[in-house]
Amino acid sequence: MVKVLIKRVVPRNKAKEMVALFRQMHILAVNQDGYISAETFHNHDDPEEFLVISSWQSADSWFNWFKSRDRLEIQERIDKLLSSTTSYSVYNYGISE
């Protein structure tokens, strides 16, 4: 299993539009092979910063979704609203030796 941390900085005046796009992205992700779950948070000290923690069965599952046309189309719309680029970090479960 992998966890993917996705950070975005959303200007306050774009928050409503962004939440709608987050929902569209989630609806599409739910139907992807290997998708487990996702949670969306905003930073307590900086409400413009959003964090999505997404769980996938494997890194391959995540990367297939990451490269998918559906995700890329919504991400392009998201990018137009952001004040900085989206950052992605993929974490493997457990400790490697």
The CATH number of the domain where 17 resides is what? 3.30.70.100
What is the β-pairing status of strands 49-56 and 2-9? antiparallel
Domain span at residue 55 reads: 2-92
Q: What mean pLDDT comes out for the span 86-97?
A: 87
Q: Is residue 97 part of a domain?
A: no
Q: Could you tell me the two tokens for 68?
A: 């998918």
Tokens coding 66:
């990451």
Domain membership flag for residue 71: yes
Spatial separation of the C-alpha atoms in residues 5 and 41, rounded to whole Å:
11
Where do the H-state alpha helices sit in 1-97? 15-30, 59-66, 69-81
Query: For the segment 36-68, what is each residue's pLDDT rounded down to a tens digit?
Result: 999 999 899 998 999 999 999 999 999 999 999
DSSP calls for 32-54: STTEEEEEEEE-SS-TTEEEEEE
How many structural domains is the chain composed of?
Answer: 1
What's the pLDDT tens digit per position in 12-39?
Answer: 899 899 889 999 999 999 999 999 999 9
pTM of the model: 0.89
Q: Is residue 48 part of a domain?
A: yes
Is the pLDDT higher at 94 or at 42? 42
Report residue 89 CA to chain centroid gap. Answer: 10
